[in-house]
Copies of this chain bind each other. A is one copy, B any other.
Amino acid sequence: MAVNDVMIRNHVQLTGTGEKLVVLAHGFGGNQTSWWRQVEALSPYYKILLFDHVGHGRSDWSAYSPRRYATLRGYATDLLEVLSAAKAERVYYVGHSMSAMIGLLAAIDQPERFEKLIFFGASPRYMDEEHYKGGFNAEAADATYDAMSTNYHAWAAGYAGAMMATPDRPHLAMEFAETLSSIRPDIAQPIIRMILESDHREDLPRLRVPTLIVQSTGDLVVPMSVGEYMAKKIPCAEYLAIEASGHFPHASAPEATSQAIRSFFG
């Protein structure tokens, strides 16, 4: 794919001043604007690469294909294409939620491209299994698909509130509801289904890049035990629990998030 096409497809943007290149990769329902607090805090110290996953934000939505994005590997391929198009070598990668496993897959494939990784709100498996508590079960998944089909915007608004878990700061849920609501329902539903069906537990031990797992204490989607599980399975992993409401520490606890990034990336 031509460099320019990739840059447009993923609406790639560069900002910040510094030597090290930090890639901020958003999760499901967000887009690159979800990182604005970190961009503000980190841009004096790093060059920052931002992009939108296909189906999100200002990406080229016509590039969405249920086949290419039938698994997170499609998004990992996109990420590698973005890094290659941007001539980004030895990057410092921050992945939130689905972008954690996307970064993991990309870094297993091309470890030389990645200096360090940080995962926020990461999960290799959202569904419960025998001896593994992912947090969702088949009933919960079906209820989610149902609610999304019945009234996507009502679902999105309520989901945003639950994800953010900050009734004392209502604008945070409204901010996420906006990016989430802007996704076309017919794209959002297969993406969330793909995420909930994903299982990358077997990939964890294959990662060779130093990784920091950041787990929020108040995450309603990813149980505390999942963060600990990942830290155990990834060979070069460090683990950090931060006091933060909800699944979006970069919004609910922006200082702690930026601090974690600066202290791990240096």
Residues A162 and B165 in contact, CB atoms below 8 Å apart: yes
Residues A155 and B168 in contact, CB atoms below 8 Å apart: no
Interface presence of A166 (CB below 8 A): yes
Residues B143 and A158 in contact, CB atoms below 8 Å apart: no
Partner of A160, one of B146, B158, B165, B171: B158
Given A168-B143, A171-B143, also A159-B161 (CB < 8 A): yes
Q: Which residues of B contact A159 (CB under 8 A)?
A: 161, 167, 170, 173
Residues B157 and A161 in contact, CB atoms below 8 Å apart: yes
| Assembled-state Cα–Cα distance A170/B159 (Å) | 7
Q: Is the interface of A mostly helix, strand, loop or mixed?
A: helix
Residues A140 and B168 in contact, CB atoms below 8 Å apart: yes
Number of copies: 2
Interface presence of A131 (CB below 8 A): no
| Assembled-state Cα–Cα distance A177/B151 (Å) | 13
A227-259 CB contact bits vs B (8 Å, 1 = yes)?
A: 000000000000000000100000000000000
Interface presence of A77 (CB below 8 A): no
Partner of A147, one of B144, B154, B163, B170: B170
| Assembled-state Cα–Cα distance A163/B220 (Å) | 12
Given A157-B157, A158-B160, A160-B158, also A151-B174 (CB < 8 A): yes
A13-48 CB contact bits vs B (8 Å, 1 = yes)?
A: 000000000000000000000000000000000000
Interface presence of A185 (CB below 8 A): no
A156-196 CB contact bits vs B (8 Å, 1 = yes)?
A: 01111111111111110110010000000000000000000
